[in-house]
Chains A and B, each alone.
Chain A
Amino acid sequence: MNRYLKLVHWEITRFWKMLAALAIVTIVLQCAGILYETHRYASEVYDRVESDHSTIAAFVQEHGKHSFIDGLARAGLAVYAPIALCIGGLVLYVFLIWYKEWFGKNAFIYRLLTLPTARRNIYFAKFTAILLFVFALVGLQLVLLPIEDGLYMMAGGDTLFESSNIFDLIANDRLLSMLIPQTFTDFVINYGAGAIAVFIGFTAVLLERSYKLKGIVAAILYIAAVGVFMMMPVLLPGNLTVTYWYTIEWFGIEAALGLVVAAVTVWLGLHLITKKVTV
């Protein structure tokens, strides 16, 4: 346990700079985007009011105030690109967190595999680290939204702009509501599926590290098999299932299948790292 925690800490120390970079990019891009869009909208409105010989009050009367939800939507790419970057970075790191150990002449894998601790601790430390990185970035986004809302109001003023309820905002946004689920069930589904995906990624890497080219083929076949297994209820003959089952039953079946996949994948990964992997 002790060494597992040390390994988690070790993984964090080796990634925190990258994590910080992702966080800074997110903060800077989102804030800049929101500020820019706020000013652009304000000047658009002023131009229009001026040319129409109208007043701001009349404009607001007619069109309503510009909410933070609208503001985020206008900022678009500046908000979503950093999120995509963070997701992409972490997905890449699911693989790099293993491959970096084999990089270069100074392959750290020699040391890592000969630590006097069960190798499953290495596996789970890496998994825990990925999970923590995900939560760190999602947490940042969650904290960042109200701050950005404040920034939005500060920059624009409350004559033309109004702040939004952050929970409504998340609920209305497909990407954000996926990352920050509204219900516990959604949380279990989204993050459960995510965790299984990470385990599958780990096992695929370990297959490749154990059997090289044959391992890659095996990994592709394994992923295909998992796909088919998860689709089993739909693929069953007659295709009655989709209409026959209630949502809750559907959820239960998929959850059970997911658990089986997770167990088999983790077992295979641990078997590979303890018995089959090669430096």
Chain B
Amino acid sequence: MIEVKGIGKKYGRKHVLREVSFTAEKGQITCLIGINGVGKSTVLKAIMGLTPVASGTILIDGRTVSSQLYDKITFIPDSITMPPNMTVDACMQFMKDYYASWNTKRAAELAGFFKLNGRDRVGELSKGNAAKLNLLLGLALDVDYVLMDEPFSGIDMFSREQIASVFTSHLIEERGVIITTHEINDIEHLIDKVVLLENGLVRREFETEEVRLQEGKSVMDVMREVYNG
């Protein structure tokens, strides 16, 4: 379980996060929703230890993040982070060199599914293919937790569908997943849990099926309530 307990962060005088607390379970897809600039990415970076927080604590299976945990948890940022002159194959080799949790078989499977060409260079990939490679580099790791920043933004329809289908497959199953998004439409059915962020606070945290069952509301309905009401 990932436990985020009362984290706060300021950029200059602006409070990006005031007091953010939520949990994300293993085996579930938790979705951080909020308009752009609300600090969703900052939360993911803070969980990964990529940016310090001013207050609060973050525990991953009861431990604070450290370099030993990077074989247990991985982060897929909203754009690929490998140098542009590297080939797809070189990127995968790089991952294999450094990560004990790299799963070569799964990487090959994903490369086939996404139809990525190993000799293509990162800098020459289309937006959709870059997003797929980015996803591949994270998902081919046998980690317990995967954090994804806006996996669906800025890519074509077909790539979106392909990426969405990853979420319903064994690639995600049994892992704890946190994704951020500013548009919920395409993925309402994919997620287990929603954390609504606004003004650096968690406005609501709920299980999607629970809200449908108890209140007969869609995620959009709840968002409308929270943001308009």
The chain A residues found within 8 Å of chain B, CB to CB, are: 3, 6, 10, 14, 104-111, 113-119, 210, 275-276, 278-279
Bound CA span A107–B80, Å: 8
> For residue B122, which residues in chain A have a CB less than 8 angstroms away from its CB?
106
B84 touches A106 (CB 8 A): yes
B81 touches A278 (CB 8 A): no
Segment of B26-34, B93-101, B207-215 engaged in the interface with chain A: B93-101
Bound CA span A108–B123, Å: 13
Cβ-closest chain A residue relative to B143: A116
> For residue B84, which residues in chain A have a CB less than 8 angstroms away from its CB?
104, 106
B74 within 8 A of A: yes
Given contacts A3-B98, A114-B70, A116-B100, A106 and B82 within 8 Å (CB-CB): yes
What is the 8 Å Cβ interface bit string for chain B, positions 63-81, against chain A (1 contact, 0 not)? 0000111110011010111
B48 within 8 A of A: yes
B37 within 8 A of A: no
B98 touches A108 (CB 8 A): no
B182 within 8 A of A: no
A118 touches B67 (CB 8 A): yes
Among B71, B98, B100, max chain A CB count under 10 A is at B98
> For residue B123, which residues in chain A have a CB less than 8 angstroms away from its CB?
106
B50 touches A279 (CB 8 A): yes
Bound CA span A262–B128, Å: 47
User: Per a CB cutoff under 8 Å, which of B50, B83, B100 touches A114?
Assistant: B50
Bound CA span A106–B78, Å: 10
B83 touches A106 (CB 8 A): yes
B67 touches A106 (CB 8 A): no
Bound CA span A10–B97, Å: 11
> For residue A279, which residues in chain B have a CB less than 8 angstroms away from its CB?
45, 50-51
The smallest C-beta distance from A124 to any residue of chain B, in angstroms, reads: 14
> For residue A117, which residues in chain B have a CB less than 8 angstroms away from its CB?
67, 98
Bound CA span A118–B123, Å: 29
> For residue A105, which residues in chain B have a CB less than 8 angstroms away from its CB?
79
> For residue B67, which residues in chain A have a CB less than 8 angstroms away from its CB?
115-119
Given contacts A106-B84, A107-B81, A278 and B98 within 8 Å (CB-CB): no
Cβ-closest chain B residue relative to A104: B84
> For residue A6, which residues in chain B have a CB less than 8 angstroms away from its CB?
97-98
User: Per a CB cutoff under 8 Å, which of B45, B52, B71, B83 touches A116?
Assistant: B71
The smallest C-beta distance from B5 to any residue of chain A, in angstroms, reads: 18
A111 touches B81 (CB 8 A): yes
Bound CA span A10–B50, Å: 21
6 of the cross-chain contacts (CB-CB < 8 Å) are A106-B82, A106-B122, A113-B49, A114-B48, A116-B71, A116-B98
> For residue A275, which residues in chain B have a CB less than 8 angstroms away from its CB?
52
> For residue B80, which residues in chain A have a CB less than 8 angstroms away from its CB?
106
Among A6, A104, A109, A114, max chain B CB count under 10 A is at A114
Bound CA span A106–B79, Å: 7
A116 touches B68 (CB 8 A): yes
Bound CA span A118–B66, Å: 8
The smallest C-beta distance from B202 to any residue of chain A, in angstroms, reads: 22
A114 touches B74 (CB 8 A): yes
The smallest C-beta distance from B137 to any residue of chain A, in angstroms, reads: 8
Those 8 A-B pairs whose CB atoms lie nearest each other, nearest first: A116-B70, A278-B51, A110-B81, A116-B71, A279-B50, A111-B81, A114-B70, A105-B79
The smallest C-beta distance from B56 to any residue of chain A, in angstroms, reads: 15
What is the 8 Å Cβ interface bit string for chain B, positions 47-61, against chain A (1 contact, 0 not)? 011111000000000
User: Per a CB cutoff under 8 Å, which of B52, B71, B82, B99 touches A276?
Assistant: B52
The smallest C-beta distance from B149 to any residue of chain A, in angstroms, reads: 10
Bound CA span A97–B81, Å: 16
User: Per a CB cutoff under 8 Å, which of A111, A114, A278 touches B52?
Assistant: A278
The smallest C-beta distance from A223 to any residue of chain B, in angstroms, reads: 24
A108 touches B82 (CB 8 A): yes
Given contacts A115-B70, A116-B98, A118-B67, A110 and B83 within 8 Å (CB-CB): no
A116 touches B81 (CB 8 A): no
> For residue B97, which residues in chain A have a CB less than 8 angstroms away from its CB?
6
The smallest C-beta distance from A211 to any residue of chain B, in angstroms, reads: 10
Among A6, A14, A110, A119, max chain B CB count under 10 A is at A110
